[in-house]
Amino acid sequence: MRLRASLPKNAFCLHEGPRPAILIAGGIGITPLKAMAQSLQADGRAFHLHYAARSRSHMAYRSKLAMAFDDTVTFYPGNEGRKIDIEALLSGAPANAMFYVCGPDRLTDAARNTADTLGIDCKRMRFERFTPATPEAGDTEFQVRLARFGTELTVAHDQTILDVLLDAGIDADYGCKSGTCGACAMKVVGGTPVHRDSALSDAERGEAGLICPCVSRAAGDGLVLDL
């Protein structure tokens, strides 16, 4: 039996070089950030881990984190009235710091919005969500035109662009199908996307004109894809 498999991909990786890192975790979002903190510590690179959860008992690895990182980890148990001040963390960090955020939507959204308000370069912000995007009330049908194929396809209100492409026999790459890995990203050359992924950076959405067709849709009548 022969199996076909792609190489592993990491859409939430650490930066290279000596720049300091600010790690912000919410709940089970500590999982990837714990590994990042261990790697940074092993490399002798500066970092601080901020970990919020409902209570100390809800904090996975809390005792091990406290022992391993000592003064480079801060805990925020919600039942003790402690809450991460996102604006203070972002505005008070070194000017060259990289930020890594993983947790509930309200945490990642707060970090994105605060970074935009403070004018922090989107290339310094990296996120990973564990809640996939879902269809929303009010989604409507739209058209997708494939510029190179010269084909126009209809995306129904309850379909994704990716599923329509695959049904049409288009060999499109994909991974998670939930907007969290970015493997399916493709270029938009016409129309206005409604982005619902958590994988692409602002630069990838804006300057590069990319969209994740597994979850994102069109604002208006449709999109033209570079396919």
**Number of Cβ within a 10 Å radius of residue 171:** 7
How far is 20 from 35, CA to CA, in rounded Å?
16
pLDDT level of residue 199 (50, 70, 90 thresholds): confident
**How many alpha carbons fall within 13 Å on the CB side of residue 16?**
0
Domain identity same for 58 and 30: yes
Domain identity same for 38 and 124: yes
How far is 4 from 6, CA to CA, in rounded Å?
7
Q: What is the CATH number of the domain that holds 198?
A: 3.10.20.30
Of the ranges 16-25, 145-154, 171-180, 214-223, which one carries the lowest mean pLDDT score? 171-180
Domain identity same for 117 and 212: no
Domain identity same for 106 and 202: no
64 falls within a domain: yes
- Domain termination site, one of 103, 129, 155: 129
pLDDT tens, position by position, 77-101: 999 999 999 999 999 999 999 999 9
What pLDDT is stored for residue 131 in this prediction? 63
- Domain containing 196: what range? 142-225
3 falls within a domain: no
pLDDT tens, position by position, 122-167: 889 998 876 666 677 789 999 999 999 999 999 999 999 999 999 9
Count of domains in the chain? 2
With a pLDDT cut of 90, the percent of the chain lying above it is: 73
